[in-house]
Amino acid sequence: MQGLILAAGMGNRLGEYTNDNTKCMVEVNGNRLIDLALEKLYNCGVRKTIMVIGYKGENVKKYLGSNYKEMEIEYVENDVYNKTNNIYSLWLAKDKLIEDDTILIESDLIFDEKILRDLIESNDKNSAVVSKFERWMDGTVTVLNKKREIVSFIPGVNFDWAATKEYYKTVNIYKFSKEFSENTYVPFLEAYIKTLGNNEYYEQVLRVISQLTEVDFKAHILTEEKWYEIDDAQDLDIAGAIFAKGEEKLEKFQKRYGGYWRFPRVKDFCYLVNPYFPNKEMLDEFKYNFDTLLSEYPSGQGVQNLLAGKMFACNPKNIIVGNGAAELIKIITNEIEGKFGVIFPTFNEYPERIGYDRVEQFIPKNNEFKYSSDELIEFSKTIKALILINPDNPSGHFLRKEDIIKILDSFEETGQYLILDESFVDFAGKEEMYSAIDNELMNRYKNLIVIKSISKSYGVPGSRLGILATANKNIMDKVKKEVSIWNINSFGEYFLQIFGKYSKVYLKACHQIANERDRFYGELQNISFLNVVPSKANYFLCELTNDFTATQLATKLLNDDDLYIKDLTGKIGIEGEKYIRLAVRDKSDNDYLLEKLKGVEFKSER
């Protein structure tokens, strides 16, 4: 068995990474792609590899020489790499291809060694490595029959999104037997080039061959194995996160701050969202209107505020829509002068937007991070505004409506503001949930400013929606001046417009997650190394009581089980390195996390 690596291309889409080198010399987490590929071939018993080089080929030859450990390396040069495609590179190596059984690899891949090992050990003489199609993939896909035979290769230009359930993406790793190369592939390759030219892809030849029923060409289907094709800088960034190890992987995920849909295998227990809403009917309505919403401008601020007023039964003059709550947090904290009181640990967006030099810290002195309205009133004597997230983040501690009114009454006498963030209040439960976005309450207390992230409880974080509500005309006028007239997109505006039709479904979804939270809480208490803080939100603050630090547990779960949790190490108000936050997802995902935590528990006791 020999290897054949195609490495002649220029890799223009990688920009500065390939200005002075070809793609196979690009590094992922400090390792060159070519080193990773050759190491895996060598570990799988391959002792000869042919490399087709072109752009900056001399750099490759100088770097590798004629051997990799005890593996012989031969070179085939494509001098017209800038005028041809990989079909020509493979044609140049045709004489080498027919010398032995061959593993064909494209040089811009990073992949698990298990893929090669299983491919080589497979009884299939000729096969293409394929992976069930996922959203992040593009390029050539295949369709298989029940015998794993590839019945068609579909190039990108013929891709049909409606047929994705049938598609398997080519990974660009192949196994060709010597007989297949000599008697089938190379003859068709030569005929194809003579007929259609050398600026095509070698998979087009396989596409023709797949139509011949007598050819034995199977799909080698991946399950959990990792791989990624690196075409541009974003691919390089994603591949770096996928193939990082240990704490480096956790750090790379933490620095992304979202966009985890690019990693469909990862279950995100870090970021907070409602798994039960929107429902299918609402999503179908969005899909039906997708083309229009994408191609049309959103309305201006006036219409957005009208829609938000309708959604929250609030006077439109007293509410404004933001591009997520983060935009409004920045504006309101800039408009109010003086010191802000912040309860720690907290959602860092608040102290970071305010500036820590303007923040007075309140840190509860108990293991469950509880506090009362009287404690907050006493603490607030020297500040201009109190930030109160209710339920609190990350503790989930909750103050009832009468406690909020008590604070408002006290602040009214002193001219202080209460900035009430109720992003999670809809999860409090049927008997306890309430909203301060209430015309009567806001008209009574002009010192009340309510902020609500629509992403958190409504399950639409991608829409970037948030609102600020207050009957304080002076404050509202200042905020409106700072908000752009087109600060949200048409998808966000449409959500505000149609929400009323689904409001009952939404309330049901909130109660559903509250019930699941309570069930999940009971199950988490059975994990012996967790002290779980009771919560009225869709997350739990947990203290670790075993030998693991929070970083170690978060690292282990991400690396071993594709579970991403919130490591609270270093957060102000939390001492030591033993606290994590776990989001509440649906029952299936929560049970999966419980299973993996029990596995950690078992190992820690051995």
Instruction: Give the separation between CA 250 and CA 559, rounded to whole angstroms.
Output: 8
The answer on 364 and 398 residing in a single domain is: yes
Count, residues in the chain: 606
Instruction: Give the separation between CA 20 and CA 432, rounded to whole angstroms.
Output: 63
Q: Please, which pLDDT band fits residue 440 given cuts at 50, 70 and 90?
A: very high
Contact 103, 120 (CB under 8 A): yes
Q: Which helix (H) or strand (E) holds 387?
A: strand 385-389
Query: For the chain, give me the number of helices (H) and strands (E)?
Result: 24, 26
Contacts of 169 (CB under 8 A, 6+ apart): 130, 131, 132, 133, 134, 137, 139, 140, 141, 142
- The mean of the pLDDT values for the chain is 94
Provide the pLDDT for residue 511. 96
The answer on 520 and 485 residing in a single domain is: no
Last residue of a domain, one of 438, 468, 502: 502
* Cis bond upstream, residue 278 (ω within 30): yes
Of 68, 66, 89, which Cα lies nearest the Cα of 78? 89
Last residue of a domain, one of 455, 474, 502: 502
Helix ranges, 336-425 (H): 349-354, 373-379, 401-414
Provide the pLDDT for residue 604. 55
Q: Is the pLDDT of residue 589 over 70?
A: yes
Min mean pLDDT across 37-51, 77-91, 106-120 is at 77-91
Provide the pLDDT for residue 515. 97
Instruction: Give the separation between CA 413 and CA 425, rounded to whole angstroms.
Output: 27
Contact 451, 460 (CB under 8 A): no
- Please compute the mean of the pLDDT values over residues 219-241 and round it to a whole number: 94
The answer on 305 and 377 residing in a single domain is: yes
Token pair in block for residue 530:
């967790």
- Please compute the mean of the pLDDT values over residues 303-313 and round it to a whole number: 97
Contact 420, 449 (CB under 8 A): yes
The answer on 369 and 297 residing in a single domain is: yes
The answer on 548 and 430 residing in a single domain is: no
Determine phi and psi for 468, rounding to 5 degrees. Answer: -125, 135
Q: Please, which pLDDT band fits residue 602 given cuts at 50, 70 and 90?
A: low
SS (H, E, C) 134-166: CCCCCCCEEEECCCCEEEEEECHHHCCHHHHHH
Q: Please, which pLDDT band fits residue 357 given cuts at 50, 70 and 90?
A: very high
DSSP state of 298: P
Q: Residue 71 sits in a domain of what CATH number?
A: 3.90.550.10
Token pair in block for residue 449:
């400013």
Q: Is the pLDDT of residue 473 over 70?
A: yes
Token pair in block for residue 203:
């998979």
Q: What is the pLDDT of residues 126-177, one digit of tens each?
A: 999 999 999 888 888 999 999 998 888 888 888 999 999 999 999 999 999 9
Q: Is the pLDDT of residue 353 over 80?
A: yes
Min mean pLDDT across 100-104, 194-198, 238-242 is at 194-198
The answer on 251 and 353 residing in a single domain is: no
Q: Give the total number of structural domains in the chain.
A: 3
Contacts of 6 (CB under 8 A, 6+ apart): 52, 86, 89, 90, 104, 105, 106, 107
- Please compute the mean of the pLDDT values over residues 31-55 and round it to a whole number: 97
The answer on 444 and 553 residing in a single domain is: no
Token pair in block for residue 55:
């752009």
Q: What is the pLDDT of residues 536-549, one digit of tens each?
A: 999 999 999 999 99
Single-letter residue type at 601:
E
The answer on 185 and 68 residing in a single domain is: yes
- Please compute the mean of the pLDDT values over residues 506-521 and round it to a whole number: 97
Contacts of 350 (CB under 8 A, 6+ apart): 329, 333, 340, 342, 387, 389, 421
Q: Is the pLDDT of residue 605 over 60?
A: no
- Please compute the mean of the pLDDT values over residues 74-86 and round it to a whole number: 92
Contact 134, 193 (CB under 8 A): no
Q: Which residue is listed with tokens 């009454």?
A: 409
Q: Which residue is listed with tokens 């998979």?
A: 203
Is the sign of the CA dihedral 18, 23, 25, 27 positive or negative? positive
Contact 599, 581 (CB under 8 A): no
- The 563-567 sheet, strands edge to edge: 267-269, 563-567, 579-583, 539-544, 530-532
Q: Please, which pLDDT band fits residue 567 given cuts at 50, 70 and 90?
A: very high
Q: What is the pLDDT of residues 313-343, one digit of tens each?
A: 999 999 999 999 999 999 999 999 999 999 9
The answer on 574 and 551 residing in a single domain is: yes
Provide the pLDDT for residue 139. 84
The answer on 263 and 210 residing in a single domain is: no
Longest dimension (CA), the chain: 92
Of 438, 383, 372, which Cα lies nearest the Cα of 407? 372
The answer on 457 and 559 residing in a single domain is: no
Token pair in block for residue 24:
């196979």
Burial of 569 (0-12, 13-18, 19+ CB in 10 A): middle
Domain of 13, in residue numbers: 2-238
Q: What percent of the chain has pLDDT over 70?
A: 99
Instruction: Give the separation between CA 472 and CA 79, rounded to whole angstroms.
Output: 72
Q: Is the pLDDT of residue 257 over 80?
A: yes
Provide the pLDDT for residue 213. 61
Q: Which residue is listed with tokens 């999860």?
A: 427
Q: Is the pLDDT of residue 198 over 90?
A: no
Q: Residue 585 sits in a domain of what CATH number?
A: 3.90.1150.10
Q: What percent of the chain has pLDDT over 90?
A: 86
Token pair in block for residue 165:
């359930």
Last residue of a domain, one of 502, 523, 549: 502
* Cis bond upstream, residue 155 (ω within 30): no
- Please compute the mean of the pLDDT values over residues 369-385 and round it to a whole number: 97
The answer on 152 and 44 residing in a single domain is: yes
Instruction: Give the separation between CA 138 and CA 229, rounded to whole angstroms.
Output: 10
Question: Contacts by 132-138 with C-beta closer than 8 Å and gap 24+?
Answer: 132/167, 132/168, 132/169, 132/221, 132/222, 133/164, 133/167, 133/168, 133/169, 134/169, 134/264, 135/261, 135/264, 136/238, 136/262, 136/264, 137/169
Provide the pLDDT for residue 606. 40
Q: Residue 286 sits in a domain of what CATH number?
A: 3.40.640.10
Contact 373, 407 (CB under 8 A): yes
